[in-house]
Amino acid sequence: MSQGPLKGLKIIEFAGIGPGPFCGMLLSDLGADVIRIDRKGGAPGGSDDVTFRGRRSVALDLKNPKSVELCLSLMATADVVFEGFRPGVMERIGLGPDVALARNPRLVYGRMTGWGQTGPYAMAAGHDINYIAISGALHAMGGRDKPVPPLNVVGDFGGGSLYLALGILAGVLHARETGEGQVIDCAVSDGAASLMSMFYGFKSSGRWKDEREANVLDGAAPFYDVYQCADGKWISLGPIEPQFYALMLEKTGIDDPQFQKQMSREDWPELKEKLAAVIAQKSCAEWCEILDATDACFAPVASLEEAPKHPHNVARETFVDIDGVVQPAPAPRFSATPGAIQGPPPRRGEHNESALSDWGVSAEDIDALKSAGSL
């Protein structure tokens, strides 16, 4: 039995890669009943497919008309369906939004793509790095010499999954209020651009230079960067506000008067060199002992191996171990209706019978689907 604020919400997810599965994970973690439609005959999946956790898998041959009809019947009772194919693929299968909404006018139909359903790039292949490239985000990240891809958290997951989840929930509220479903065109490139809103505002006001390592938040400022310790590990410092900056100077033992010129961009390069020299005199553990949990705006740079063991993360149970796979716990947290990992990543087709039965498909119809080679 699921738990969380989205308990009772029925969602169909057509399996894909990247932002689609992560969105499905977020919705499942918050209690939604998510059936994932997998491709029959594909790879079985495993416990390390973390973003597939918490759903039930039904494996179908979508080239079979009986599979298409089954999907439409499921959509008729669902609150949400979402997919992550190129524009036109679902229409060619016979599962496009027009057909789906004709069956269920209250349905929220989410479409997750890199470029969106329209525009010159709409039909072109791409990946996260390309989507954030045209948003302005990639240009702003990295060193002076070149932009550096920030993993795929800014585009796929930040600009894609989170915006699709937000759009889905907004669509559900609207459908419950009006009885009217709708289509959500969620493009990673749009979401990445939206995430850059503050910086476009800064640029317009003259507070942001359109170049890398030239601004407070992009590694140019000595008080907002990472520094290597004596043991080769790294720490992060971010005391932007004057009182926090003053505390950082006190804790690090810096009394050089040049450091009083905190916002003097001309002094930043030299100040950064001096601060780096100070940090390099002690190990990461020593700096943690001095700076941990203070207002100096400090944290050690934890690796994927170290992060689950950090005392703050341990205290908050930020990570959990499921079948030997350490992974982040559901977020955010709710006081009255806490979310939970609804189950491990399913094997492909693991819930062919149980999930369909729970969603109202009769045993006779399930047997017929099996006989037809659809299931």
In the block, tokens 């939970």 appear at: 340
Q: Are 365 and 67 in contact (CB under 8 A)?
A: no
Provide the 3-class DSSP secondary structure of residue 361. Answer: coil
Provide the 3-class DSSP secondary structure of residue 255. Answer: coil
Rounded Cα gap, residues 164 and 24, in angstroms: 10
CB atoms within 10 A of CB 206: 7
127 counts as catalytic: yes
Pairing of strands 325-328, 225-228: unpaired
DSSP codes of every residue in 56-111: EEEEE-TTSHHHHHHHHHHHTT-SEEEE-SPTTHHHHHT--HHHHHHH-TT-EEEE
Provide the 3-class DSSP secondary structure of residue 72. Answer: helix
CB atoms within 10 A of CB 233: 17
> Of 29, 33, 156, 218, which is the active-site residue?
156
156 counts as catalytic: yes
Angle formed by the axes of helices 162-178 and 19-29, to 10°? 60
- Phi/psi for 328 (5° steps) reads -65, 145
> Of 49, 61, 127, 174, which is the active-site residue?
127
Catalytic residue IDs: 127, 156
